[in-house]
Structure 1
Amino acid sequence: MSDAPKADEGSKPDYRPTVFLPRTDFPMKAGLPQKEPAILARWQEQDLYGQLRLSRSGREQFILHDGPPYANGDIHIGHALNKTLKDMVVRTQTLLGKDAPYVPGWDCHGLPIEWKVEEQYRKKKLNKDEVPVAEFRAECRDYAQHWVDVQREQLKRLGVGGDWDNPYLTMQYDSEATIVSELFKFAESGQLYRGAKPVMWSPVEKTALAEAEIEYEDIVSTQIDVAFEIVESPIPELVGAHAVIWTTTPWTIPVNQAIAYGPDVEYVLYRVSVTAGFVEASSDFKVTSSPAENLTGTYLIGQELADDFAARISREAQGTVILDEVWEGTGSDLAGTVARHPMHHLGGFFAKPRPFLPGDFVTTDQGTGLVHMAPDHGEDDFELCQANGIGPQFAVEGDGKYRADWPWLGGQGSVINAKFNAPDGPICTDLREAGALLAASADFRHSYPHSWRSKAKVIYRCTPQWFIGMDRPLAADHCETFAERRWENEGGAFEGATPTLRQLAMRAIADTRFVPEKGRNRIGSMVEGRPDWVISRQRAWGVPIALFVDRKSGQPLVDAEVNARIVEAIATGGVDAWSPDNAAAFLGNRNPDDYEMVTDILDVWFDSGCTHVFTLLGDRWPDQRWPADLYLEGSDQHRGWFQSSLLESCGTRGRAPYDAVLTHGFTMDSAGKKMSKSLGNTVDPNKVMETYGADIIRLWALSVDFTEDHRIGDEILKGVADQYRKLRNTFRYLLGALDGYDEAAELRKPEDMPELERYMLSRLKALDERLMADIGNFDFNDYTRALTDFCNEDLSAFFFDIRKDSLYCDAPGDPKRQAYRTVLDIMFNRLLAYAAPVLVFTAEEVWQTRWPDRDSIHLVDIAPLPDAWRDLALEDRWSALRRVREQVTEAIEPLRRDKVVRSSLEAEVTLPDLPATPDLLAELFITSAVHRGDTLAIAQTAFEKCGRCWRYLPEVVEDGALCDRCDTVLNGG
């Protein structure tokens, strides 16, 4: 150290060059949008992911299986959240030293892509059906591949590490072949069957839809009251009267086959008369009024609903309704009653009797207490009619029109069209002319299912489909292929010799860890009550249901050799291999004329439900294993991918493909509203990265409580950016304070360190324990908050603040300064490792700033910190000291505002009790002195200020002179 600098005559010496201020080239301004792509390019050039796999080879594995996003369009903020969470899981497990590979994947088949390609055709005025199917599929494949490539680059830009050069795609030939082989397993086990049941059907998209493809929107429908004349009944009063049904789907009346009643419901036969007189209707009420005399008659309805019925009739006639009771009884009295369809005069189907059937589902919540049954278009309808020997008619075609030969409204529709069902539409008009329409109004508001892709209304439509049965016992020889036959030694856990798919799935749900726990009940209730899984779709772009059906028996062919040839062909040529041209080759010695070749494709949920097979069990990714430790998706996937994977795996392997399921909520706008392009409230992650950088998105995603619905917006992102700046400045300070640090020359033993340094090591150990627990609990919100709070509160506002005097002014060889820098070095390496999974780019920038010749921070793993560092007694003592420090700081603040003192260094503190030595307390409070007194008091010091360290000390003879320490440092004494 040189002598103190000389001052010009009449001025004080300038000691600033003698102070050891932090030095670093690390900028305060992040410039993430410019820096992050360069860092990403370097990782790709170095093959960082490949290096990571080599460095972790042979270690304990952690497998997160990626749920496939759909290859259609740019990523949205939901993708950004989801992939950041997955990346956080993988990186934190890697941080613990585990081998945690990540294979990203995409869902590539299905209607959304086919729909987009058809849109391109429509723009060119081309008909998709006139294009060879192989050519059309090729265009779908190209479309999917384009968006896979786009999304891949966007997700890489987000900092998500993974095997991006070798992702899994459901449209890869080997994936398609595996999906078909999994289908064959269900055929072999007896779970697969073809049947006719009502399924959710999109007339716009002309295909069946899964429950997971349905969303519900409020609509306004036409409600009608229709009279069915009773022609037979054990109750004489009912013959010749009319049973009244109420429905909000008038289009189902042309397919009516029965009437359901509630066995315990009270019914009344009323003689109805209508007197003239205007009845005021609501603004939404639109009717085509019937003359009052046309509504006079005798009607059977539920007693509890009589007033509502009378109100609808009075509005229709614009008069006053009078009800006179003729007969009353319970629903069970109606057994044996028969009515006829209002359009019976058309003959044929409509001339058949309509029996009254008991239905437990009939309630008196709304309507008339009598429900018309159309087994083609309702689950309850189908089951009740089927049980009574009444089958579906298949009157409505795939495009939503009645088939051309249907006696009433044949070739007309679409049945979901509001005008078609309107009070003045063809259905109501014909019913009114037949004298059967008692009331019709277009004012009934209710929730209705829509396709989440086309946004169009869907219908229940009975069609021949392929199903996987939920309650069919699995074939015994199939069960023997499972890894373990747990149901045999569970003490009667399952009824029957072998379990059903539902039983296996419910057991798997019980065995799975759910984060948060409420996910268990959510998926459990869905699986417990779900119908059979309809897996067939009537489209072109997808994996075929590659089955041959015996034309005589109607049963699918189950032949291992045939199946093997089909799988091999698809593995070689993709889905186009399932072609009539190859039928003979597939069947071998069998006669192709004896078999129907199924043309349906598989539900894409079956595709995605099989991803665990070709990703975790296949040869393509040898560093994977089955089952996965974790599946992680949004809460909507309890009815989607979580469930399809569960059912597929339970049906083929007897257990879930995962040990744990982590669920996140949905991202709302800053006001808590659902994001929608039409509302203009979406947040584009690509634009956020262009403005703020990927690390800001990541910090946001890991700071919110992602297990619930959460928010994002400009103000929220600005707050996250401010949080980021504080973290960045923490690392900038550490870099500067460690300038020239030589580990060999510094004090390394905690037991030789001052009490404050030992306390901070204990705090670091406590933080480590908390973060390790957070990793195990997947509590990344707490992880990020704990890390941020430690940097802001324990370091910047406390440790750095107190020790800056020692760092700046103590001699380089001073034990306190050495101990401080040693702890800073430990903090730097540890905190940067903790931050690396969160701020992947910034952590690399910080690391390379200090260690430009070392490997990436993301190749670092962390060893456990010494247990001896955790000193609870020391933490209790310093927690108490920090509380006193806060009181003193608060007491000084008014004097600062009033300019009595310019900084805490000018203050002297009086305390009624001294919890530590006066020197330690003065250092802790950053004041000139501390004394014992009666009360807490602050006063301006009378000491002079040292010209170098700026502390006010008794040995400073005049303002600007040196204190003893600074004099020693400068003069080597």
Structure 2
Amino acid sequence: MCSDTPDYKDTLNLPQTDFPMRAGLPKREPEWLERWNGLGVYDRLREKATAETRQPFTLHDGPPYANGHLHIGHALNKILKDMVVRSQQMMGRDARYIPGWDCHGLPIEWKIEEQYRKKGQNKDAVDIVDFRAECRKFAEGWIDIQRDEFKRLGVTGKWEKPYLTMDFRAERIIAEEFQKFLMNGTLYQGSKPVMWSPVEKTALAEAEVEYHDKESFTVWVKFAVAEGDLEGAHVVIWTTTPWTMPSNKAVVYGEDISYGLYEVTGTPDECWANVGDKFILADKLAGDVMGRARLNDDQWSRVRDVSADELAGLSLKHPLHGAEGSNGEWDDLRDFRAADFVTDEEGTGFVHCAPSHGMEEYELYRGLGMLDQVITYNVMDDGGFRADLPFFGGTYILDRKGKEGNANKTIIDKLVEVGGLLARGKIKHSYPHSWRSKAPVIYRNTPQWFAAIDREVGDGQDKSGTTIRQRALTEIDKVQWTPKTGRNRLYSMMESRPDWVLSRQRAWGVPLTCFVRKGAMPTDEGFLLRDEAVNARILEAFEAEGADAWYKEGAKERFLGNDYDPNEWEKVDDILDVWFDSGSTHAFVLRDREDGSEDGMADLYLEGTDQHRGWFHSSMLQSCGTTGHAPYRGVLTHGFTLDEKGNKMSKSLGNTIVPDEVVKQYGADILRLWVAQTDYTNDQRIGPEILKGTADSYRRLRNTMRFLLGALSHFSDADRVEPEDMPELERWVLHRLAELDHRVRTGYAAYDFQGVFQALFNFATVELSAFYFDIRKDALYCDGDTPRRRAARTVMDILFHRLTTWLAPVLVFTMEEVWLERFPGDESSVHLVDIPETPKEWLNEPLAAKWATVRQARRVVTAALEVQRTDKVIGASLEAAPVVHVQDSEALEVLKSVNFDDICITSDIRLTDDPSPAEAYRLPEVDGITVVFERAEGEKCQRCWKILPDVGTHTHPGVCARCNEALG
């Protein structure tokens, strides 16, 4: 620049904004939380919805458990819910969200028991009401902690009035829901094998069980044939639960299986078989069994067939039959019959039956009406054998820490002693464990309370069926499942599930508020007391005092009143399965609260895939039992969170990601952005490198918003231009906005946050930052008050309102910061506005097709100039005036109809249909367009930096015509 040329920097319309490049989210996000709290944003939206009579949208919160800090799965779940609620609200619904907590049950009780054990105290010696008070206090403490942690993630909702399953009102309604099962005839007491935790001394539901590998003893046991032609031979069974042998009552076989009689002809040195022993085995498995018995192929032979008819006439002796000191415990002959669950895939082709410890055997003998002959009560609630059981009394299946006890070894040793064992070994297999104590569980026959799901519900409702199962299966097909595979999972589970075990033998929860007649059998008429007046007294007490009222002194007399003799009735003190608690939440949240749901149903339940056997399942069962229909119209499920390598997170592996640590390092918006970028329908990965990539995406998006803010400085309505008066480039942007508005709305409606964010991110970083903004910087900075500049700023204002509201459900803090930078004020918040309506007339497909050609040609030019820049031939694209050879005549006319030099950010450009010279630059993926580099001719404008022939020929020195006009 000549020394007498003015410095034109101050004459440029440079962007003006205080919006920082560095977000500083960890420090600033809490300030916005305080601001929203002061504004009362959630309540204001409810008032707005009432005034505008908006259509409600209710996402019902599946209650997390109040017993520890949040893990990354909690964060994923709550952030997804928040994005659903916020997006629905901003699309014009009245989106309500009442957070809640599961407060009852074993995990909390277990923690309090641990505290007692550390002090050397016995929990059973503590007054139950005092014990329950400690459980309540423990839950209250964690609710306060988790509430703050959830709010820190930017999750909006009715935080000051959440729902708690331990609130007195909630406990009252849970009891009321239970009483409906009592009154409609589906409640019954039965004795059947249930999954039992010896460590926790309680029954467990399937949803409370997880499967881990476990090493188990395996034994091949001999049952002697008692009489007939095969007397003296043995039927051999195989089992992975030797501890069930003392409870054996039968052996079963398969009618369609081929069996044979096999004889031992020789033995090795160490073997429990003897020469001349005869065994009845499934032919397909005989070789394997003999090998397990350490017999070589030449040491046994097949004698003959054994038909199903021949098997049907046999009876067997238990291996402990007649054992000295057995007191005749096992001297009865064992039942022997066919069963359809026997296969010859593994084992021996025979199955030993202990109906007290196996559902298939239980169902078989229930169907035969023989349960009273085969049910045993050998195993106590702590997993030990009853003290008076010969040989095994006082031994334990598991020790108090859930490790292998001494029962299996003792039983195996006794079988060896009496000659009842043919072989033994060990097997590693998937085995059920309690998800709380992590200890193995057993099947144990215990008296429990059940909801009969195939018994006709006596409530007169039959729209979806007359039984709970019929209703559930019908209702499942009325639900919108996201993803659709969720329907099949729940349907198959519901189709095959047994009756619902409602009772738990614990202390912290809502009791089964019912009475049974003393001395009566469960099958007797009048066994259960069904009286509305008694029920009403119970509910009134629970409303005032909570469920503790059931355990207070004189409770039985109080509730029975003067109508019944308390000496004739027993109060049931089992507590309800916590899944009944959470399954009932629709009743005391959706139906009971003013801010619940008008029809008592939720628009959406949203949880992890494990809840098909948990909350989705129990809620469907509970609601179908009491209302006759599902509690939800839609169900969305997400996968589990893994580390960067796809491994399950574990403290022992050191690969856990703690939400609080991510928030402290990056800010909650980065965690929210990670959620938005994942395909939540599958398992997601997270780790340091993934979070770095997320933070990089955030920075790019932040830069886009910063550019908009700078460009819109001092923009007012007076600057606005109507779409029909805009240049084609601006109208192309409007077209893209109309397309995106449809994509955003349909995406948010389908809960496709990944698809919405990807579309917006690509638009913001590729179509805006790298294309539109790149082109329009020159007009924004250097034009005077031209229609082109006004049109660009009008479009940027439109972009601002859409991008901030489109992204607000995801980046709740950042979009608030962007909004307040432009619209400061005590009452201002992006979360109080809706996504603006976008006119459909902005759609212009012919224009879009034209500009697709322009953009493709621009790619070739910019790529050609980048080669020159890399080779240091030029420093900036404005130093170029390339020649563009266009083979297609229509494409050439398109490029000539626009300011292609401005679009390519060159000082000049020449378009020609001349054949391409050999040295022309070609982009392999774009046919028919090549570029020959030429330098721009003329002088450099000292204001806009374009190199033009007319620079220096105008009133203002050193500038081009455009800049001279802008300077006035």
**In structure 1, distance between residues paired with 2:607 and 2:266:** 59
Confirm or deny: 8 A CA contact 2:67 2:139 kept in the other structure: yes
Say whether residues 1:460 and 2:453 are aligned partners: no
Instruction: Report how many residues are paired.
Output: 926
**In structure 2, distance between residues paired with 1:947 and 1:924:** 21
**Pick aligned residue for 1:437 from 421, 432, 447:** 421
Q: Secondary structure at the match of 1:940?
A: coil
**Pick aligned residue for 1:729 from 677, 699, 703:** 703
Confirm or deny: 8 A CA contact 2:79 2:155 kept in the other structure: yes
Q: Residue 889 of structure 2 aligns with which residue?
A: none
Return the offset for 1:324: 2.2
1:85-484 residue pairs with structure 2 within 5 A? Answer: 85-233=80-228, 236=229, 238-276=230-268, 290=271, 293=274, 297-314=277-294, 322-345=299-322, 346-388=326-368, 389=370, 390-415=373-398, 420=405, 425-441=409-425, 443-475=426-458, 478-480=459-461
Confirm or deny: 8 A CA contact 1:629 1:659 kept in the other structure: yes
The alpha-carbon distance between structure 1 residues 617 and 248, as it changes in their structure 2 partners (threshold 3 A), is: same
Deviation string, structure 1 residues 700-744 (Cα, Å, up to 9, x no partner):
01110001111000010000001111111111111111111112x
**In structure 2, distance between residues paired with 1:141 and 1:223:** 44
Return the offset for 1:11: 6.2
**Pick aligned residue for 2:13 from 16, 20, 23:** 20
Return the offset for 1:932: 2.5
Computed over aligned residues only, the root mean square deviation of the Cα atoms, in angstroms, reads 1.8
**In structure 2, distance between residues paired with 1:900 and 1:517:** 57
**In structure 2, distance between residues paired with 1:956 and 1:60:** 62
Return the offset for 1:91: 0.3
Return the offset for 1:41: 1.0
Q: Residue 743 of structure 2 aligns with which residue?
A: 770
Which amino acid counterpart does residue 264 of structure 1 have in structure 2?
D
Deviation string, structure 1 residues 796-832 (Cα, Å, up to 9, x no partner):
1111100000000001x21110111111111111110
Return the offset for 1:410: 1.1
Return the offset for 1:332: 4.3
**In structure 2, distance between residues paired with 1:330 and 1:906:** 97
Q: Secondary structure at the match of 1:968?
A: helix
Q: Residue 810 of structure 1 aligns with which residue?
A: 783
Return the offset for 1:265: 0.8
Return the offset for 1:571: 1.4
1:519-530 residue pairs with structure 2 within 5 A? Answer: 519-530=486-497
**In structure 2, distance between residues paired with 1:837 and 1:932:** 46
Say whether residues 1:784 and 2:757 are aligned partners: yes
Confirm or deny: 8 A CA contact 1:537 1:602 kept in the other structure: yes
**In structure 2, distance between residues paired with 1:602 and 1:422:** 31
Q: Secondary structure at the match of 2:374?
A: coil
Q: Secondary structure at the match of 1:325?
A: strand
Q: Secondary structure at the match of 2:120?
A: coil
Which amino acid counterpart does residue 911 of structure 2 have in structure 1?
R
**Pick aligned residue for 2:542 from 570, 577, 587:** 570
**In structure 2, distance between residues paired with 1:291 and 1:343:** 16
Which amino acid counterpart does residue 450 of structure 1 have in structure 2?
H
**In structure 2, distance between residues paired with 1:52 and 1:321:** 84
Which amino acid counterpart does residue 331 of structure 2 have in structure 1?
A
Q: Secondary structure at the match of 1:736?
A: helix
Q: Structure 1: which 5+ runs fail to align? A: 1-6, 278-288, 488-493
Say whether residues 1:931 and 2:910 are aligned partners: yes
Q: Residue 72 of structure 1 aligns with which residue?
A: 67
- Between stretches 623-632 and 450-459, larger displacement belongs to 623-632
**In structure 2, distance between residues paired with 1:562 and 1:636:** 38
Confirm or deny: 8 A CA contact 1:540 1:601 kept in the other structure: yes
Q: Secondary structure at the match of 2:117?
A: helix
Confirm or deny: 8 A CA contact 1:562 1:586 kept in the other structure: yes
Q: Residue 554 of structure 2 aligns with which residue?
A: 581
The alpha-carbon distance between structure 1 residues 897 and 305, as it changes in their structure 2 partners (threshold 3 A), is: same
**In structure 2, distance between residues paired with 1:97 and 1:850:** 23
Confirm or deny: 8 A CA contact 2:272 2:421 kept in the other structure: no
Return the offset for 1:330: 3.4
TM-score by length of 1: 0.93
**Pick aligned residue for 1:607 from 581, 597, 601:** 581
- Between stretches 621-630 and 178-187, larger displacement belongs to 621-630
The alpha-carbon distance between structure 1 residues 470 and 60, as it changes in their structure 2 partners (threshold 3 A), is: same
Confirm or deny: 8 A CA contact 1:918 1:929 kept in the other structure: no
**In structure 2, distance between residues paired with 1:296 and 1:332:** 25
Q: Secondary structure at the match of 2:411?
A: helix
Which amino acid counterpart does residue 42 of structure 2 have in structure 1?
Y
**In structure 1, distance between residues paired with 2:375 and 2:141:** 43
Confirm or deny: 8 A CA contact 2:175 2:513 kept in the other structure: yes
**In structure 2, distance between residues paired with 1:619 and 1:912:** 71
Return the offset for 1:120: 1.1
Confirm or deny: 8 A CA contact 1:909 1:929 kept in the other structure: yes
Q: Residue 628 of structure 1 aligns with which residue?
A: 602
**In structure 1, distance between residues paired with 2:65 and 2:435:** 13
Q: Structure 2: which 5+ runs fail to align? A: 887-891, 917-929
Deviation string, structure 1 residues 393-451 (Cα, Å, up to 9, x no partner):
1110010000112223112113587754698x21111111101111112x312111111
**In structure 2, distance between residues paired with 1:469 and 1:945:** 88
TM-score by length of 2: 0.93
- Between stretches 336-345 and 353-362, larger displacement belongs to 336-345
**In structure 2, distance between residues paired with 1:536 and 1:964:** 88
Confirm or deny: 8 A CA contact 1:276 1:292 kept in the other structure: no
**In structure 2, distance between residues paired with 1:10 and 1:652:** 90
Q: Secondary structure at the match of 1:260?
A: strand
Which amino acid counterpart does residue 926 of structure 1 have in structure 2?
I
Q: Residue 514 of structure 2 aligns with which residue?
A: 547
Return the offset for 1:676: 1.2
Say whether residues 1:964 and 2:964 are aligned partners: no
Confirm or deny: 8 A CA contact 1:748 1:822 kept in the other structure: yes
Say whether residues 1:905 and 2:905 are aligned partners: no
Q: Secondary structure at the match of 1:890?
A: helix
Q: Residue 4 of structure 1 aligns with which residue?
A: none
Say whether residues 1:860 and 2:833 are aligned partners: yes
Confirm or deny: 8 A CA contact 1:186 1:651 kept in the other structure: yes
**In structure 2, distance between residues paired with 1:630 and 1:419:** 44
**In structure 2, distance between residues paired with 1:415 and 1:54:** 58
Q: Secondary structure at the match of 1:912?
A: strand
Q: Secondary structure at the match of 1:23?
A: coil
**In structure 2, distance between residues paired with 1:573 and 1:321:** 77
The alpha-carbon distance between structure 1 residues 96 and 635, as it changes in their structure 2 partners (threshold 3 A), is: same
Confirm or deny: 8 A CA contact 2:354 2:374 kept in the other structure: no
**In structure 1, distance between residues paired with 2:950 and 2:404:** 97
Say whether residues 1:639 and 2:613 are aligned partners: yes
Confirm or deny: 8 A CA contact 1:919 1:930 kept in the other structure: no
**In structure 1, distance between residues paired with 2:599 and 2:818:** 35
Q: Secondary structure at the match of 2:581?
A: helix
